[in-house]
Amino acid sequence: MKAISMNAHQSLAIGRPIETIEAISPALAVPHAMVRFAGISKTYPAYRGKPGVNALQDIDFAIPRGSITGVIGRSGAGKSSLVRLINGLEKPTTGRVIVDGRDISALAGRELRLAQRSIGMIFQHFNLLSSRTAADNIALPLEIAGWTKTDIKARVTELLALVGIADKHDRYPSELSGGQKQRVGIARALATRPSVLLSDEATSALDPQTTRAILDLLANINRELGVTIVLITHEMSVVRQLAKEVVVLDAGRVVESGHVADIFTQPRHPITQSFLAEVIGDSLPVSLESRIVSKQPAGGQAVIRIQVRGAGAGDTVVARLARELGLDVALLSARIDEIGGQHVGSLTLGIPGGEDAVTRTLAWLSQYQFSAERLGYVA
C-alpha cells in the first residue's frame, strides 16, 4: 500500500488550470494533430419561421493523432455539428477544420468524397442498409470507392473477423442484435482503412453490457490499428471507460478540454461537475441525509465529507486519521471511482468527541491537502 502523504501530493499536482488545450498539454500540442479546429463557428440560418441557431462558437482545439478523444455535452450542446464538420457533412460558417493536414472545410465535390474515404463514422442507430447482408453492408464503402470484387471479398472477410462476427456474413440486419449491428457498423466504417473514426453516440442505443463490449472493441481498434477515435457522447461512463482526452461542450462552446484525468479530478465548469456527479454521485444515502441535524446531540458524531481526487488518494486516510488522532472514526458513506487512472469520489465520516475532535480532524485533513467540509451531526 502506498503512503498517504505521497498520494495527497499527487492529488495536489494533478489539478492545473487549463486555459487552452495547446498551452497546457504537451500531448495535444503535437505539430501533427489528426484534427484541428481553427476559429470555428457554425450558424444555422433562420428558415421558415424558425430562428437562426448559433450551434458552435469560438471552437479552437486539436485532437492528437492516435488518441481516443471524447467530446461530451448535453443534447443541443453542438456535438453533432462538431463531428459533422470533421467529415465534411457540414461546412463551418467561419474557420477551418484540418483533418490529417488537409483543410476539409475547403473541399467540395469529388475531392471531398475522396477525403471522406479516410474518415469513418459510426452512428447511434447503426444506419445499416436493411436490403443488404452484414457482408454486403461492409462492402458498400468499398464498392463506392471502386474496389474490385475479389479485393472487396477478401477485405470484408478480414473485417468481419476483426469485429468478431465472422459467422454473421450472410445475415440481414433484422436478424442481428444491437451489438452485432454496431459491429457491422464499425467494420463498415473501417473498410476503407480510415485514419479517423468518428463515433456519434454509437453506444447510446445499447444496453450497458453490450456498450462495454463495443467500447472494448473500439479500444482494441485504436490500439491495434492506430486509428484516431473521436467519441461524441452525452454519457460520462463512455468517456470514463474509453477516452484519454476530453472536450466538454456547452451551448456551442468548449468549456474545458484536456486529459480526462485532469479534467475530472479538478472539474471547474458546472457542466463538467454535473457530468462527474453522474459517475461518482454527489448525494448522501437517503437514510443518512435524513438523520443529519445542525446541532450536535449529546454523544453524537460530526459528519465530515472528504473529497478524494488522484491516484490512490484516500486509500488509507480513515486508518491514519483514526490512528494518529486516536478517534473512533465511523465510515458513514463512501464512493470512489476511477477516471483516467485517477481516483475520484468522496468519503463521509462520523467523528465522535465534540468540537475539539472536529477541529483537530479538519486541521489534520488540511495538512494533507484533503478538501473536507462539515455537513452537520448525527446522533
Partner 1 sequence: MSPELINLIVQATFESLYMVGIAALLGTAFGLPLGVFLATSRKGELFAAPIVNRVLGIVVNATRSTPFIILVVAIIPFTRLVAGTSIGSTAAIVPLTIASTPFIARLVEAAIREVDGGLIETASSFGASPLQIVLKVLIPEALPGLLLALTLAVVSLLGYSAMVGAVGGGGLGDLGIRYGYQRFMPEMMLAVVVVLIALVQIVQSAGDYLARRVNRRLRHR
CB of 144 to partner 1, least distance (A): 5
d(CA 143, CA 136): 9
CA distances from 156 to 143, 222, 223, 296 (A): 11, 19, 21, 70
d(CA 262, CA 258): 7
Closer to partner 1 by Cβ: residue 194 or 340 = 194
CB of 87 to partner 1, least distance (A): 5
CB of 143 to partner 1, least distance (A): 7
Which cell numbers in the block locate residue 183? 459491429
Q: End-to-end CA distance of the chain, in Å?
A: 34
- Does residue 107 sit in helix, strand or coil? coil
CB of 1 to partner 1, least distance (A): 50
Beta carbons of 377 and 332 less than 8 angstroms apart: no
Angle at which helix 178-190 crosses helix 134-144, to 10 degrees, equals 20
Closer to partner 1 by Cβ: residue 143 or 216 = 143
Closer to partner 1 by Cβ: residue 55 or 349 = 55
d(CA 321, CA 328): 9
CB of 224 to partner 1, least distance (A): 21
Closer to partner 1 by Cβ: residue 110 or 295 = 110
Beta carbons of 21 and 257 less than 8 angstroms apart: yes
CB of 137 to partner 1, least distance (A): 10
CB neighbours of 124 closer than 8 A, spacing ≥ 6? Answer: 200, 201, 202, 204, 205
Give the binding site for partner 1 (CB under 8 A).
87, 89, 110, 112-117, 119-121, 123, 125, 127, 129-132, 140-141, 143-145, 172-175, 188-189, 191-192
Closer to partner 1 by Cβ: residue 198 or 311 = 198
Closer to partner 1 by Cβ: residue 191 or 214 = 191
